[in-house]
């Protein structure tokens, strides 16, 4: 089978079969081009319901379960430390595990800093909302029509109670935009693989429809090592597949390996033609790494308003805190999980682990007692998260260790400016959620590595950007990037809808040039 794939000539190679690569590949095949997806992970079985495993440290098991096999290394100035990021590795990438939140950014999110205006992106957002079956309510603070937004199913009593209280607090909550089709038997697979074609992600709305056209093929367990080429063109993609290093060629190459890996591949492609790495003449590849900072908190609707028996609050969104006193903050949304004893326990343990004594096994066991007490007294809490926008900083970056080119290494520090905005954001959240007893579950800044972006930024000027407004790498005629690496700003909303809309846009540009 794979021998056949490797002998076939494709119009385009897409590196990475996640949300960006999947949606872009689908667009190309629907416009008549043939596409080869290269995926480091496996496709797995369609009926899997795996959650994203952050605890297993066995790389073989992690790959089998669709998680990125290795820990990522992060140096915030205090020396490198390793952690497992919420990254998928398999068909659909991280998106098969995502909570299906697909939110539009605000007009100013793009118009301040992106080379593509909100106006230009509008039709692509519309199209993305259509193919991803997005459901929810229009944001009451926005004047942008969303013609393809479908109605959400009725609110749970808990959601209705929380939204009612927020309105009484003068806020403007609405039903979060989620990519769930609610087919019969829908179990709302937020945070885990969906066994039906119900949650719309890079697999169900990207790779699968692309394969269904008959013009696409998928090479799984295929690790891209580097790009090969001359000053103006990529001639081949060097891959490791089945224990063999080989070169695959196509007239068009699209990188969609994610903001942590795309720059790594570009830098690891350093050669005589590209001494600092492919597309890296301006030393910008890997720089301006951004994440969102998660401000996690629990709220307790008044007893009687919501019993909690009918499941977690999953669909409340709030954009009243996008900009405060001229500072960019971000949106607030429910996480779709209840804070029962284990979550509260985790929060207690996190707080305790800041002290040496709290890290002992005995202390960890005894933390169960206050956690139990808290959940008894307060009942079932609903978990929320505020997504705080991060600003580009050239010092925050992906670096490559030539001895370990496959290792994701981030240098990422949180500047005082961001800490100040955190304080403002948390104050705003406390105020907006008053009478709902908001309790913050993280004290230290918590970067959301699932929302990383910015490491191959888009711009008109090759001196300050890696790709042009069509997401083609400056100076290279056949290399495009279609993941969140190209985001010039991190925006105050979840990245997936913009990622998909941009992939549709770039796919249509590539297909248009081809015909």
- Please check whether residue 102 is in contact with residue 479, taking contact to mean a CB–CB distance below 8 angstroms: no
- Min dist CB 43 to other proteins, Å, is 13
- Residue 111, token pair as written in the block: 């118009």
Nearer CB in complex with other proteins: 64/399: 64
Q: Is 408 left (phi over 0), alpha (psi -120 to 50) or beta?
A: beta
Write out the two tokens for 484: 């969140």
Q: Whose Cβ is closer to other proteins: residue 192's or residue 241's?
A: 192
User: Closest CB to other proteins among 53 and 305?
Assistant: 53
C-alpha to C-alpha distances, 449 to 15, 259, 326, 412, 465, nearest whole angstrom: 20, 10, 26, 11, 22
The minimum distance between CB 203 and other proteins, in angstroms, equals 15
Min dist. Cβ of residue 361 to other proteins (A): 9
Dihedral angle, C-alpha 150, 315, 160, 437, nearest 10 °: -160
Residue 334 C-beta: closest distance to other proteins, Å: 24
CB 255, min distance to other proteins, A: 29
Looking at the Cβ atoms of 65 and 300, the one nearer to other proteins is 65
Task: Give how far the C-alpha of residue 436 lies from the chain's centroid of Cα atoms, to the nearest Å.
Answer: 29
Cα radius of gyration (the chain): 22
Compute the least distance from the CB of residue 49 to other proteins, in Å. 6
299 versus 371: smaller Cβ distance to other proteins: 371
CB of 368 to other proteins, least distance (A): 6
Nearer to other proteins, 58 or 120 (CB): 58
* C-beta atoms surrounding 434 within 10 Å: 14
Closest by Cα among 274, 268, 215, 202 to 240: 268
Measured CA to CA, the distance from residue 29 to residue 213 in angstroms comes to 7
Q: Which is nearer to other proteins, 199 or 426 (CB)?
A: 199
CA separation for the pair 367, 373 (Å, rounded): 10
- CA dist 320 and 173 (Å) reads 8
Q: At closest approach, how far in Å is the CB of 84 from other proteins?
A: 15
Strands 409-411 and 397-399: what pairing? antiparallel
Report whether 202 contacts 18 (CB < 8 A): yes
Residues 6+ apart with CB under 8 A from 214: none
Interaction site with other proteins (CB under 8 A): 44-45, 47-51, 53, 64-65, 193, 195, 362, 365-366, 368-369, 372
Kindly provide the residue ranges of all beta strands, DSSP E only, lying in 320-364, ordered along the sequence.
323-324, 327-328, 332-339
Full 3-state SS string of 4-46 = HHHHCCCCEEEECCCHHHHHHHHHHHHCCCCEEEECCCECCCC
**CB of 377 vs other proteins, minimal distance in Å:** 15
Give the residue with the Cβ less far from other proteins, 273 or 363: 363
Shortest distance, CB of residue 185 to other proteins, whole angstroms? 11
Nearer to other proteins by Cβ, of 47 and 423: the residue is 47
Q: Give whichever of 55 and 515 is closer to other proteins, judged by the CB atom.
A: 55
């Amino acid at each position: 089978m794979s021998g056949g794939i490797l002998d076939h000539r494709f119009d385009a190679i897409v590196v990475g079969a996640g949300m960006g690569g999947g949606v872009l590949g689908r667009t190309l095949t629907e416009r008549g081009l043939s596409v080869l997806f290269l995926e480091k992970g496996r496709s797995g079985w369609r009926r899997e319901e795996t959650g994203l495993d952050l605890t297993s440290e066995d790389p073989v098991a992690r790959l089998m379960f669709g998680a990125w096999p290795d820990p990522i290394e992060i140096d915030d100035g205090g020396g490198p430390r390793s952690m497992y990021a919420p990254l998928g590795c398999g068909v659909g990438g991280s998106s098969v595990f995502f909570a299906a939140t697909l939110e539009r950014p605000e007009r100013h999110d793009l118009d301040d800093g992106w080379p593509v205006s909100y106006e230009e992106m509008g039709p692509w957002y519309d199209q993305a909302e259509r193919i991803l079956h997005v459901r929810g309510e229009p944001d009451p603070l926005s004047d942008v029509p969303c013609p393809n937004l479908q109605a959400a199913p009725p609110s749970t009593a808990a959601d209705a109670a929380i939204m009612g209280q927020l309105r009484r607090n003068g806020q403007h909550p609405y039903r979060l935009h989620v990519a769930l089709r609610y087919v019969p038997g829908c179990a709302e697979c937020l945070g885990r693989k969906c066994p039906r074609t119900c949650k719309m992600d890079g697999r169900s709305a990207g790779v699968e429809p692309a394969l269904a056209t008959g013009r696409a093929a998928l090479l799984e367990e295929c690790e891209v090592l580097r790009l090969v080429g001359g000053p103006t063109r990529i001639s081949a993609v060097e891959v490791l597949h089945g224990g063999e290093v080989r070169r695959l060629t196509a007239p068009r190459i699209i990188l969609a390996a994610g903001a942590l890996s795309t720059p790594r591949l570009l830098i690891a492609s350093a050669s005589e033609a590209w001494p600092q790495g492919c597309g890296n003449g301006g030393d910008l590849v890997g720089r301006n790494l951004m994440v969102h900072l998660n401000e996690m908190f629990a709220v307790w609707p008044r007893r009687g308003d919501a019993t909690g028996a009918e499941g977690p609050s999953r669909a409340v969104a709030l954009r009243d805190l996008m900009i405060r006193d001229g500072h960019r903050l971000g949106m607030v949304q429910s996480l779709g999980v209840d804070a029962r004893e284990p979550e509260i326990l985790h929060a207690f343990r996190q707080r305790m682990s800041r002290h040496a004594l709290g890290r002992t096994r005995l202390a960890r066991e005894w933390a169960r007692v206050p956690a139990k007490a808290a959940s008894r007294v307060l009942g079932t809490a609903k978990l929320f998260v505020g997504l705080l926008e991060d600003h580009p900083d050239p010092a925050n970056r992906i670096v490559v260790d030539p001895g370990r080119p496959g290792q994701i290494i981030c240098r990422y520090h949180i500047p005082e400016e961001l800490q100040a905005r955190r304080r403002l954001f948390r104050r705003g959240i406390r105020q907006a959620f008053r009478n709902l007893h908001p309790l913050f579950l993280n004290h230290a800044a918590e970067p959301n590595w699932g929302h990383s972006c910015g490491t191959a930024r888009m711009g008109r000027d090759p001196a300050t950007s890696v790709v042009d407004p069509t997401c083609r790498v400056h100076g290279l005629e056949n290399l495009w990037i279609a993941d969140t690496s190209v985001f010039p700003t991190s925006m105050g909303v979840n990245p997936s809808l913009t990622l998909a809309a941009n992939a549709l846009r770039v796919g249509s540009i590539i297909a248009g040039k081809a015909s």
